[in-house]
Amino acid sequence: MIVRTLIVVAVIFAGLAAVLTRGREAIGEILATTSMNDLVNGHFAERIDKAIFKAVPRSATLDGAVAGLQYRLLHDAGRQVHAGCGNWLYAMEELGADKSDARNMKMRAEVLHRLVRLIKQLGAVLVVIPIPDKAEQVEDQLCGLTATQSRRRDVFRKELSQTDGVIVVDVKPDWPRPGYWHLDTHWDQSGARFAANRTAQAITAAIGAGQDQVRLSEGAWRDRTGDLVRLAGLTDAPAALAPAPEQERDVKADIQHSGGLLDDTAEPSVILAGSSFSLNSAFADYLQAALSREVAQASEAGGGFAGALLGLLEKNPASLANAKVIIWEWPMRSLTTPLSPLEQRFLAGSRGQAAE
Protein backbone atom coordinates (compact mmCIF):
# COMPACT_ATOMS: atom_id res chain seq x y z
CA MET A 1 0.00 0.00 0.00
CA ILE A 2 2.90 2.35 0.82
CA VAL A 3 4.58 1.59 -2.51
CA ARG A 4 1.32 2.26 -4.41
CA THR A 5 0.94 5.59 -2.62
CA LEU A 6 4.52 6.61 -3.43
CA ILE A 7 4.00 5.81 -7.13
CA VAL A 8 0.77 7.81 -7.26
CA VAL A 9 2.40 10.78 -5.48
CA ALA A 10 5.40 10.64 -7.83
CA VAL A 11 3.15 10.67 -10.89
CA ILE A 12 1.10 13.58 -9.50
CA PHE A 13 4.18 15.68 -8.80
CA ALA A 14 5.66 14.82 -12.19
CA GLY A 15 2.45 15.99 -13.86
CA LEU A 16 2.33 19.14 -11.73
CA ALA A 17 5.93 19.97 -12.60
CA ALA A 18 5.16 19.48 -16.29
CA VAL A 19 2.13 21.77 -16.09
CA LEU A 20 4.07 24.51 -14.30
CA THR A 21 6.92 24.27 -16.82
CA ARG A 22 5.10 23.74 -20.11
CA GLY A 23 1.93 25.69 -19.36
CA ARG A 24 3.39 28.64 -17.46
CA GLU A 25 3.12 31.14 -20.30
CA ALA A 26 -0.41 30.11 -21.30
CA ILE A 27 -1.67 30.23 -17.71
CA GLY A 28 0.05 33.58 -17.17
CA GLU A 29 -1.67 35.03 -20.22
CA ILE A 30 -5.05 33.78 -19.00
CA LEU A 31 -4.54 35.37 -15.60
CA ALA A 32 -3.52 38.66 -17.18
CA THR A 33 -6.51 38.85 -19.51
CA THR A 34 -9.25 37.49 -17.27
CA SER A 35 -12.15 39.82 -16.53
CA MET A 36 -14.77 39.70 -13.79
CA ASN A 37 -17.30 38.43 -16.34
CA ASP A 38 -14.97 35.51 -17.18
CA LEU A 39 -14.97 34.51 -13.51
CA VAL A 40 -18.74 34.74 -13.22
CA ASN A 41 -19.75 32.92 -16.43
CA GLY A 42 -17.20 30.10 -16.11
CA HIS A 43 -14.97 31.07 -19.05
CA PHE A 44 -11.97 31.40 -16.72
CA ALA A 45 -12.24 27.81 -15.47
CA GLU A 46 -12.77 26.56 -19.01
CA ARG A 47 -9.65 28.33 -20.30
CA ILE A 48 -7.56 27.06 -17.36
CA ASP A 49 -8.76 23.48 -17.96
CA LYS A 50 -7.74 23.66 -21.62
CA ALA A 51 -4.32 25.13 -20.77
CA ILE A 52 -3.61 22.39 -18.23
CA PHE A 53 -4.79 19.69 -20.64
CA LYS A 54 -2.40 20.95 -23.33
CA ALA A 55 0.47 21.24 -20.83
CA VAL A 56 0.27 17.68 -19.50
CA PRO A 57 2.90 15.64 -21.38
CA ARG A 58 1.68 12.64 -23.34
CA SER A 59 4.29 9.96 -23.70
CA ALA A 60 3.81 6.29 -24.50
CA THR A 61 7.18 5.65 -22.89
CA LEU A 62 6.14 7.35 -19.64
CA ASP A 63 2.76 5.61 -19.60
CA GLY A 64 4.48 2.27 -20.23
CA ALA A 65 6.97 2.86 -17.43
CA VAL A 66 4.19 3.68 -14.95
CA ALA A 67 2.20 0.59 -16.01
CA GLY A 68 5.35 -1.55 -15.76
CA LEU A 69 6.17 -0.30 -12.26
CA GLN A 70 2.62 -0.91 -11.17
CA TYR A 71 2.76 -4.45 -12.59
CA ARG A 72 6.15 -5.41 -11.17
CA LEU A 73 5.93 -3.73 -7.77
CA LEU A 74 2.22 -4.08 -7.04
CA HIS A 75 1.27 -7.07 -9.22
CA ASP A 76 -1.46 -4.84 -10.65
CA ALA A 77 -2.37 -4.94 -14.36
CA GLY A 78 -5.09 -2.29 -14.32
CA ARG A 79 -8.86 -2.39 -14.22
CA GLN A 80 -9.42 -4.61 -17.25
CA VAL A 81 -6.78 -7.26 -16.59
CA HIS A 82 -6.18 -9.53 -13.60
CA ALA A 83 -2.56 -10.44 -12.86
CA GLY A 84 -2.46 -14.08 -11.81
CA CYS A 85 0.47 -16.16 -10.65
CA GLY A 86 3.77 -15.65 -12.43
CA ASN A 87 3.13 -14.01 -15.80
CA TRP A 88 -0.42 -15.26 -16.21
CA LEU A 89 -2.90 -12.55 -17.22
CA TYR A 90 -6.70 -12.85 -17.37
CA ALA A 91 -9.49 -10.70 -18.76
CA MET A 92 -11.56 -9.20 -15.95
CA GLU A 93 -14.73 -9.73 -18.01
CA GLU A 94 -14.37 -13.47 -17.30
CA LEU A 95 -14.20 -12.88 -13.55
CA GLY A 96 -16.69 -10.08 -12.94
CA ALA A 97 -20.43 -10.22 -12.40
CA ASP A 98 -23.23 -7.78 -13.17
CA LYS A 99 -26.91 -7.68 -12.28
CA SER A 100 -27.76 -7.86 -16.01
CA ASP A 101 -25.91 -11.16 -16.56
CA ALA A 102 -28.94 -13.41 -16.11
CA ARG A 103 -31.08 -11.29 -18.45
CA ASN A 104 -28.36 -11.21 -21.13
CA MET A 105 -27.93 -14.99 -20.95
CA LYS A 106 -31.68 -15.48 -21.29
CA MET A 107 -31.77 -13.31 -24.40
CA ARG A 108 -28.75 -15.14 -25.83
CA ALA A 109 -30.61 -18.40 -25.36
CA GLU A 110 -33.43 -16.95 -27.45
CA VAL A 111 -30.96 -15.88 -30.15
CA LEU A 112 -29.48 -19.37 -30.18
CA HIS A 113 -32.78 -21.23 -30.49
CA ARG A 114 -33.95 -18.95 -33.31
CA LEU A 115 -30.65 -19.41 -35.15
CA VAL A 116 -30.85 -23.19 -34.76
CA ARG A 117 -34.31 -23.21 -36.39
CA LEU A 118 -33.15 -20.88 -39.17
CA ILE A 119 -30.07 -22.96 -40.05
CA LYS A 120 -32.20 -26.10 -40.01
CA GLN A 121 -34.52 -24.51 -42.59
CA LEU A 122 -31.47 -23.90 -44.81
CA GLY A 123 -30.75 -27.63 -44.73
CA ALA A 124 -27.29 -27.30 -43.21
CA VAL A 125 -25.78 -29.06 -40.23
CA LEU A 126 -25.08 -26.58 -37.41
CA VAL A 127 -21.99 -27.30 -35.34
CA VAL A 128 -21.57 -25.15 -32.23
CA ILE A 129 -18.28 -24.73 -30.37
CA PRO A 130 -18.65 -22.91 -27.03
CA ILE A 131 -15.13 -21.88 -25.93
CA PRO A 132 -14.50 -22.23 -22.18
CA ASP A 133 -13.15 -19.27 -20.25
CA LYS A 134 -9.41 -19.18 -19.75
CA ALA A 135 -10.14 -18.43 -16.08
CA GLU A 136 -11.89 -21.79 -15.73
CA GLN A 137 -9.48 -23.88 -17.79
CA VAL A 138 -6.39 -22.41 -16.10
CA GLU A 139 -7.94 -21.65 -12.72
CA ASP A 140 -4.88 -22.82 -10.77
CA GLN A 141 -2.95 -19.72 -11.92
CA LEU A 142 -5.56 -17.13 -10.84
CA CYS A 143 -3.80 -16.60 -7.50
CA GLY A 144 -6.43 -15.99 -4.85
CA LEU A 145 -9.47 -15.88 -7.16
CA THR A 146 -11.79 -18.58 -8.46
CA ALA A 147 -13.64 -18.98 -11.75
CA THR A 148 -17.05 -18.74 -10.09
CA GLN A 149 -18.63 -16.69 -12.90
CA SER A 150 -17.34 -19.10 -15.52
CA ARG A 151 -19.03 -22.02 -13.79
CA ARG A 152 -22.29 -20.07 -13.61
CA ARG A 153 -22.15 -19.54 -17.37
CA ASP A 154 -21.55 -23.27 -17.81
CA VAL A 155 -25.25 -23.84 -17.15
CA PHE A 156 -25.80 -22.50 -20.67
CA ARG A 157 -23.54 -25.22 -22.12
CA LYS A 158 -25.52 -27.96 -20.38
CA GLU A 159 -28.81 -26.61 -21.73
CA LEU A 160 -27.27 -26.28 -25.18
CA SER A 161 -26.30 -29.96 -25.23
CA GLN A 162 -30.00 -30.84 -24.93
CA THR A 163 -31.06 -28.66 -27.89
CA ASP A 164 -32.36 -30.54 -30.94
CA GLY A 165 -30.93 -29.74 -34.37
CA VAL A 166 -27.42 -28.83 -33.27
CA ILE A 167 -24.13 -30.67 -32.81
CA VAL A 168 -22.31 -29.34 -29.77
CA VAL A 169 -18.54 -29.79 -29.63
CA ASP A 170 -17.45 -29.96 -25.99
CA VAL A 171 -13.72 -29.23 -25.84
CA LYS A 172 -13.47 -29.27 -22.04
CA PRO A 173 -12.86 -33.01 -21.51
CA ASP A 174 -9.18 -33.98 -21.97
CA TRP A 175 -8.23 -30.34 -22.67
CA PRO A 176 -4.43 -30.04 -23.19
CA ARG A 177 -3.24 -28.00 -20.21
CA PRO A 178 -2.79 -25.12 -20.24
CA GLY A 179 -4.06 -24.69 -23.82
CA TYR A 180 -4.15 -20.89 -23.51
CA TRP A 181 -1.51 -18.21 -23.91
CA HIS A 182 -0.16 -16.72 -20.69
CA LEU A 183 -0.58 -13.15 -21.96
CA ASP A 184 -3.64 -13.46 -24.20
CA THR A 185 -7.33 -14.30 -23.81
CA HIS A 186 -7.18 -16.89 -26.61
CA TRP A 187 -6.18 -20.51 -26.82
CA ASP A 188 -2.59 -21.28 -27.77
CA GLN A 189 -1.72 -23.51 -30.71
CA SER A 190 -2.01 -26.72 -28.69
CA GLY A 191 -5.52 -25.71 -27.60
CA ALA A 192 -6.49 -24.62 -31.11
CA ARG A 193 -5.28 -27.89 -32.62
CA PHE A 194 -7.10 -29.95 -30.01
CA ALA A 195 -10.35 -28.04 -30.60
CA ALA A 196 -9.94 -28.37 -34.37
CA ASN A 197 -9.45 -32.15 -34.16
CA ARG A 198 -12.46 -32.60 -31.90
CA THR A 199 -14.60 -30.43 -34.20
CA ALA A 200 -13.44 -32.38 -37.25
CA GLN A 201 -14.45 -35.66 -35.61
CA ALA A 202 -17.98 -34.37 -35.07
CA ILE A 203 -18.29 -33.07 -38.65
CA THR A 204 -16.88 -36.23 -40.22
CA ALA A 205 -19.36 -38.32 -38.25
CA ALA A 206 -22.17 -36.14 -39.64
CA ILE A 207 -21.25 -35.80 -43.36
CA GLY A 208 -18.39 -38.22 -43.96
CA ALA A 209 -14.69 -37.76 -44.61
CA GLY A 210 -13.31 -35.12 -46.95
CA GLN A 211 -11.25 -35.87 -50.07
CA ASP A 212 -8.91 -32.87 -50.26
CA GLN A 213 -5.22 -33.20 -49.54
CA VAL A 214 -4.21 -30.67 -46.90
CA ARG A 215 -0.62 -30.13 -45.84
CA LEU A 216 0.37 -27.91 -42.93
CA SER A 217 3.51 -25.81 -43.24
CA GLU A 218 5.18 -24.03 -40.33
CA GLY A 219 7.17 -20.82 -40.34
CA ALA A 220 9.94 -19.61 -38.07
CA TRP A 221 9.38 -18.84 -34.41
CA ARG A 222 8.49 -15.24 -33.60
CA ASP A 223 7.53 -13.10 -30.60
CA ARG A 224 3.84 -12.83 -29.82
CA THR A 225 2.44 -9.83 -27.93
CA GLY A 226 -0.73 -10.89 -26.18
CA ASP A 227 -3.93 -8.83 -26.28
CA LEU A 228 -3.94 -8.67 -22.46
CA VAL A 229 -0.51 -7.03 -22.50
CA ARG A 230 -1.95 -4.29 -24.73
CA LEU A 231 -5.07 -4.03 -22.56
CA ALA A 232 -2.92 -3.63 -19.45
CA GLY A 233 -0.90 -0.83 -21.08
CA LEU A 234 2.30 -2.86 -20.88
CA THR A 235 3.17 -2.77 -24.58
CA ASP A 236 5.48 0.23 -24.11
CA ALA A 237 6.80 -0.80 -20.70
CA PRO A 238 10.58 -1.39 -20.37
CA ALA A 239 11.52 -5.02 -20.95
CA ALA A 240 12.60 -5.39 -17.32
CA LEU A 241 9.14 -4.38 -16.11
CA ALA A 242 6.91 -6.11 -18.68
CA PRO A 243 6.21 -9.84 -18.99
CA ALA A 244 8.42 -11.50 -21.58
CA PRO A 245 6.65 -12.12 -24.92
CA GLU A 246 5.63 -15.65 -25.80
CA GLN A 247 6.73 -17.53 -28.90
CA GLU A 248 4.62 -18.85 -31.76
CA ARG A 249 5.11 -19.87 -35.35
CA ASP A 250 2.88 -19.27 -38.34
CA VAL A 251 0.97 -22.32 -39.53
CA LYS A 252 -0.58 -22.42 -42.99
CA ALA A 253 -2.80 -25.02 -44.64
CA ASP A 254 -1.94 -25.77 -48.28
CA ILE A 255 -4.92 -27.41 -49.97
CA GLN A 256 -4.89 -29.63 -53.05
CA HIS A 257 -8.45 -30.27 -54.12
CA SER A 258 -9.60 -33.69 -55.26
CA GLY A 259 -10.34 -34.11 -58.97
CA GLY A 260 -8.39 -33.26 -62.12
CA LEU A 261 -6.60 -30.05 -62.95
CA LEU A 262 -9.34 -28.99 -65.36
CA ASP A 263 -12.18 -29.60 -62.91
CA ASP A 264 -13.93 -26.56 -61.56
CA THR A 265 -13.24 -26.04 -57.88
CA ALA A 266 -16.50 -26.05 -55.97
CA GLU A 267 -17.24 -23.52 -53.27
CA PRO A 268 -16.36 -24.81 -49.80
CA SER A 269 -19.29 -26.66 -48.26
CA VAL A 270 -18.10 -25.94 -44.71
CA ILE A 271 -18.34 -22.39 -43.37
CA LEU A 272 -16.66 -21.20 -40.19
CA ALA A 273 -18.45 -18.23 -38.63
CA GLY A 274 -16.78 -17.63 -35.28
CA SER A 275 -15.08 -15.06 -33.13
CA SER A 276 -11.43 -14.05 -32.77
CA PHE A 277 -10.72 -17.56 -31.45
CA SER A 278 -11.27 -18.87 -34.98
CA LEU A 279 -8.76 -16.32 -36.27
CA ASN A 280 -6.08 -17.11 -33.69
CA SER A 281 -3.42 -19.80 -33.29
CA ALA A 282 -4.09 -21.41 -36.70
CA PHE A 283 -7.41 -22.96 -35.64
CA ALA A 284 -8.88 -22.77 -39.17
CA ASP A 285 -5.73 -24.31 -40.68
CA TYR A 286 -5.69 -27.18 -38.20
CA LEU A 287 -9.40 -27.70 -38.86
CA GLN A 288 -8.94 -27.97 -42.63
CA ALA A 289 -6.13 -30.48 -42.17
CA ALA A 290 -8.19 -32.59 -39.76
CA LEU A 291 -11.24 -32.48 -42.05
CA SER A 292 -9.43 -32.96 -45.36
CA ARG A 293 -11.75 -30.23 -46.58
CA GLU A 294 -11.47 -26.57 -47.40
CA VAL A 295 -13.26 -24.35 -44.90
CA ALA A 296 -14.61 -20.92 -45.83
CA GLN A 297 -13.44 -18.48 -43.15
CA ALA A 298 -16.13 -15.95 -42.21
CA SER A 299 -15.13 -15.28 -38.59
CA GLU A 300 -14.84 -11.78 -37.16
CA ALA A 301 -12.52 -10.37 -34.52
CA GLY A 302 -14.78 -8.91 -31.88
CA GLY A 303 -17.69 -10.94 -33.23
CA GLY A 304 -18.65 -11.98 -29.72
CA PHE A 305 -21.53 -14.43 -29.46
CA ALA A 306 -23.07 -14.41 -32.94
CA GLY A 307 -21.68 -11.41 -34.79
CA ALA A 308 -20.15 -13.30 -37.71
CA LEU A 309 -23.10 -15.64 -38.29
CA LEU A 310 -25.72 -12.92 -37.98
CA GLY A 311 -23.62 -10.73 -40.28
CA LEU A 312 -23.75 -13.41 -42.98
CA LEU A 313 -27.48 -13.85 -42.58
CA GLU A 314 -28.10 -10.12 -42.77
CA LYS A 315 -25.66 -9.06 -45.49
CA ASN A 316 -24.89 -12.18 -47.53
CA PRO A 317 -27.44 -14.96 -46.94
CA ALA A 318 -26.68 -16.42 -50.38
CA SER A 319 -23.27 -17.52 -49.08
CA LEU A 320 -25.04 -20.06 -46.85
CA ALA A 321 -27.22 -21.52 -49.59
CA ASN A 322 -24.87 -24.37 -50.57
CA ALA A 323 -23.35 -24.97 -47.16
CA LYS A 324 -23.45 -28.50 -45.80
CA VAL A 325 -22.02 -27.51 -42.45
CA ILE A 326 -22.01 -24.20 -40.61
CA ILE A 327 -19.58 -23.99 -37.70
CA TRP A 328 -20.57 -21.44 -35.09
CA GLU A 329 -17.84 -20.78 -32.52
CA TRP A 330 -18.22 -18.36 -29.63
CA PRO A 331 -16.50 -17.69 -26.29
CA MET A 332 -18.48 -18.44 -23.15
CA ARG A 333 -17.62 -15.02 -21.72
CA SER A 334 -19.69 -13.41 -24.50
CA LEU A 335 -22.91 -14.82 -23.01
CA THR A 336 -23.24 -12.09 -20.40
CA THR A 337 -22.10 -9.05 -22.40
CA PRO A 338 -24.79 -6.57 -23.54
CA LEU A 339 -26.51 -7.57 -26.77
CA SER A 340 -25.07 -5.98 -29.89
CA PRO A 341 -27.26 -3.93 -32.25
CA LEU A 342 -27.07 -6.85 -34.71
CA GLU A 343 -28.40 -9.27 -32.11
CA GLN A 344 -31.13 -6.84 -31.10
CA ARG A 345 -32.25 -6.45 -34.73
CA PHE A 346 -32.28 -10.21 -35.20
CA LEU A 347 -34.42 -10.77 -32.13
CA ALA A 348 -36.80 -7.98 -33.08
CA GLY A 349 -37.16 -9.32 -36.61
CA SER A 350 -37.66 -12.91 -35.44
CA ARG A 351 -40.26 -11.90 -32.89
CA GLY A 352 -42.07 -9.87 -35.54
CA GLN A 353 -42.21 -12.86 -37.90
CA ALA A 354 -43.43 -15.13 -35.11
CA ALA A 355 -46.25 -12.69 -34.34
CA GLU A 356 -47.52 -12.65 -37.93
Domain contains 237? no
Q: What is the pLDDT of residue 159?
A: 87
The answer on 342 and 319 residing in a single domain is yes
pLDDT tens-digit profile, the chain (356 residues): 554 555 544 554 445 455 455 455 655 665 666 666 655 555 666 665 565 556 555 568 888 888 999 999 999 999 999 999 999 999 999 999 999 999 999 999 999 999 999 999 999 999 999 999 999 999 999 998 999 999 999 999 888 988 998 999 999 999 999 999 999 999 999 999 999 999 999 999 999 999 999 999 999 999 999 999 999 999 999 999 999 999 999 999 999 987 655 455 678 999 999 999 999 999 999 999 999 999 999 999 999 999 999 999 999 888 888 899 999 999 999 999 999 999 999 999 876 565 55
Domain contains 229? no
Contacts (Cβ under 8 Å, ≥6 apart) of 140: none
Range of the domain at 312: 100-224+248-355
Domain contains 58? yes
Domain contains 15? yes
The answer on 296 and 217 residing in a single domain is yes
Query: Given 62, 90, 118, which residue is the final one in a domain?
Result: 90
Q: What is the pLDDT of residue 45?
A: 63
The answer on 69 and 32 residing in a single domain is yes
Domain contains 231? no
Split into its structural domains, the chain has a count of 2
Reading phi first (left if > 0) and then psi (alpha if -120 to 50, else beta), residue 167 is in beta
Domain contains 334? yes
The answer on 78 and 192 residing in a single domain is no
The answer on 178 and 131 residing in a single domain is yes
The letter for the amino acid at 51 is A
